[in-house]
Amino acid sequence: MAVKVLAIVLAGGEGKRLLPLTADRAKPGVPFGGIYRLIDFVLSNLANGGYLKIVVLTQYKSHSLDRHISKTWRMSTLLGNYVTPVPAQQRLGPRWFAGSADAIYQSLNLINDEAPDYVIVFGADHIYRMNPQQMVQDHIASGASVTVAGIRQPKSMADQFGVIEVGADGRRISAFREKPKETEGLPDAPDEIFASMGNYVFSTRALCEAVSRDAADPDSKHDMGGNIIPMLVEKGEANVYDFRDNEVPGSTERDRGYWRDVGTLDSFYEAHMDLISTLPVFNLYNHEWPIYTNYGSWPPAKFVHGYEGRQGRAVDSMISPGVVVSGALVERSVVSPRTRINSWAHVEGSVLMDGVDVGRNAIIRNAIIDKNVVIPPGMEIGVDLERDRKRFTVSDAGIVVIGKNHRIDPDE
């Protein structure tokens, strides 16, 4: 008989480093790639892998995330499948989730009700494709209590990740360290390390025992990576799964093994730029492993005006349904539904979210513009960063970010 697997997606992240994009929504609910939300990527991986019983644990400003899940992720109830958001319910007292491990501890009733053999625990805010079925099979074959997905990164970048150190066999985890300044390389690649992807497969009993033990520790931060995994590493019961071994149908050599943590404004922007090259680093056009979403009943994108000096056109860009490019030029950009870019405007190297209106003769360069922002005619954004810092958010790399529903004074 097939093993029973329950998937738990941790989607309670506040995402402070993504402000102002997370000022009004949870990090997993942030729009991405024109028509998607960040959470669509992990849910698509699970659904494509055949895991159709999915619990999404939410907490921080989760309304838009809950609404997106309820409108988009509907499974066949006839077959007992579901994707359900579960907020902090204060089942164990008047308190919210104190960390990712505590979120699971407070939700043990969900595991008990489903009685799975194994539990997948994945994060909700990474951009990647992965076949989780192969990781589950690897976990079962290993006999470990937990298997942690690891992606190979240069050893010089160890201080940017949670690092998985392994024994001589390259599989058993010997230590789990957070952003170490010095670490050992891999047995088969001394110049590389395993960075934790924040994805885990647990044997059910081991997970329940670990989070229960952790809950009784007043000094714990109740974090999956910081507390639960080190606990099982110390017992010699944790293995690593090499993401390099994961085979996704339809992937190409260029986009195979892609994974990006979009935890900062700059990484969020860079992940968008990865989508739009001729041979994209992350390929949204892999129809054998689709990324699912629901973006409404919008008409096709439209490009109008075609005479000299006033041509509606887009180059090296992704243009969503419902967009009107009216006598404007769009270059190297991702444009979301219902956005209108008016005559003689120039949008370059930017991400425009749903419902943005760009006025005539405006210039937008290297920017992220959140939903429903109106750019006044003739305004320049991303041209004078010193001026932009006085009125908007500007990232470390010089990306100008304007938050949702921001009303811009034309005289700014």
Phi and psi at 285, nearest 5°, equal -95, 25
Q: Is 369 helix (H, G, I), strand (E, B) or coil?
A: strand
**C-alpha span between 162 and 178 (Å, rounded):** 4
Neighbours of 289 (CB within 10 A): 17
- DSSP reduced 3-state for 100: helix
* Residues 293 and 72 sit within 8 Å (Cβ to Cβ): yes
Taking CA atoms, 101 is separated from 4, 26, 142, 229, 261, in Å, by: 22, 18, 23, 10, 20
Q: Consult the annotation and say whether 288 binds a ligand.
A: no
Annotated ligand binding at 179? The verdict is yes
CB–CB of 230/216 below 8 Å?
A: no
Are 74 and 43 contacting, i.e. CB atoms less than 8 angstroms apart? no
Report whether 322 contacts 306 (CB < 8 A): no
What's the chain's length in residues? 412
Residue 162 marked ligand-binding: yes
CA–CA separation, 390 and 191 (whole Å):
43
Beta pairing partners, 148? 200, 240
Which are the contacts of 218, defined by CB distance < 8 A and separation ≥ 6?
A: none
Interstrand relation of 259-261 and 146-154 (parallel, antiparallel or unpaired): unpaired
Neighbours of 264 (CB within 10 A): 16
Would you say 390 is a known binding-site residue? no
Binding-site residues? 162, 178-179, 196
Binding-site residues for alpha-D-glucose 1-phosphate? 162, 178-179, 196
